[in-house]
Structure 1
């Protein structure tokens, strides 16, 4: 049984959509920072696969619609991380104690890493999709959460930035390059690959043994 609820966040952020799952084994927050509702729609295959596996999900936008210029966020990664941290503090009691993982893309992935560095024991797993993880370079060595970097083979600049960041991570880590995919994983089947990689990572690190 799925129960969808809107969680009010501090101004100027839009509400986050929480999906509770009966007997949830963990909570995965899908974080983006582009002020675009289309991102949430594109991520539905990821959210639905997580929910089917028994994870509660939180769809969380870190920018208000009028803050995005469709190029890059007006806030730096640390400012976005503060918003992420505040949003996580507002989780309702029904999910607050669940093992928590984060899934983030682009600039939100850098915010995720800053947040993880400040919560070394609070985040059980991280997944970055086409993330600008290089923007969190100063804290990469402080991240302790198991981290998966997923990048598109057809996005060589991001692949290179992620490989460099990967070498600086000191936590459990993995990097996967998805063939035939470009930055937004719009090619047929490629987002399904991302969803399965993320699901496997979270199932390993959030779900209880067995």
Structure 2
């Protein structure tokens, strides 16, 4: 297993990330956190650990530099700038394809909160590299017109007691043209802090990714 801290280059910043790649790896999952969070999010790290047991690599990275984080804490300028965050994810997808341990691996985008919208924007721009998008308590509605441009399967996971976000996810699902599913975790609120709620998220995400990988393998064999 490869485990290292990396710096991901973008057009205007070097962003820190934690890359872990099992051997062998079937895919790599790129996490996009929401506003006010970071690559150290305990929820994303728990999901990442579960996905690695299924031989998927994980890259948890910050979408803002330290300077941008400080500025955003005062102004809120970046946290809802979905095109900006989407460009950062596209740069990370391209970087993964240059690294010896992840080159050519299917990319899963796992987004939380506003990170889900950025993941959908990036998926629309890199359809040949992204296998699927998974949203945890996300705001896919903020992806706007990118929703109709996404061509890869999308899984929306929402807490059953996260009523407003659940409504927004249902509306966004109606705008998706790609295959998609909405998984509601009963009794869970926005941060999935209830007993077994986050385990439900991780297990559902793992099964979804397994199915998408199997479909991709079968499609390749049928060519």
Is the shorter-chain TM-score for this pair beyond 0.5, marking a shared fold? yes
Measured after TM superposition, the shift of residue 63 of structure 1 is 2.1
Measured after TM superposition, the shift of residue 186 of structure 1 is 1.1
Residue 221 of structure 2 aligns with which residue? none
Residue 55 of structure 1 aligns with which residue? 56
Residue 78 of structure 2 aligns with which residue? 74
> Which residue of 196, 202, 206 corresponds with 2:209?
202
Q: Is the 8 A contact 1:153 1:179 kept in 2?
A: yes
| Aligned-partner Cα distance in 1 for 2:74–2:187 | 24
| Aligned-partner Cα distance in 1 for 2:184–2:104 | 33
Measured after TM superposition, the shift of residue 145 of structure 1 is 0.7
Residue 185 of structure 1 aligns with which residue? 192
| Aligned-partner Cα distance in 1 for 2:75–2:156 | 22
Q: Is the 8 A contact 1:34 1:70 kept in 2?
A: no
Structure 1 residue ranges (4+ consecutive) displaced by more than 6 angstroms after TM superposition: none
> Any residues of structure 2 matched to 1:98-177 within 5 Å, and which?
98-177=105-184
CA-based RMSD:
2.2
Residue 94 of structure 1 aligns with which residue? 101
The runs of 5 or more residues in structure 2 that have no matched partner are: 219-223
Task: Note closer, same or farther for the CA distance 1:38–1:62 as it changes in structure 2 (3 Å cut).
Answer: closer
Q: TM-score, normalised by structure 1?
A: 0.91
Measured after TM superposition, the shift of residue 109 of structure 1 is 0.6
Q: TM-score, normalised by structure 2?
A: 0.86
Task: Note closer, same or farther for the CA distance 1:117–1:200 as it changes in structure 2 (3 Å cut).
Answer: same
Measured after TM superposition, the shift of residue 67 of structure 1 is 4.3
Measured after TM superposition, the shift of residue 56 of structure 1 is 0.9
Task: Note closer, same or farther for the CA distance 1:206–1:138 as it changes in structure 2 (3 Å cut).
Answer: same
Residue 2 of structure 2 aligns with which residue? 3
Q: How many residues align?
A: 209
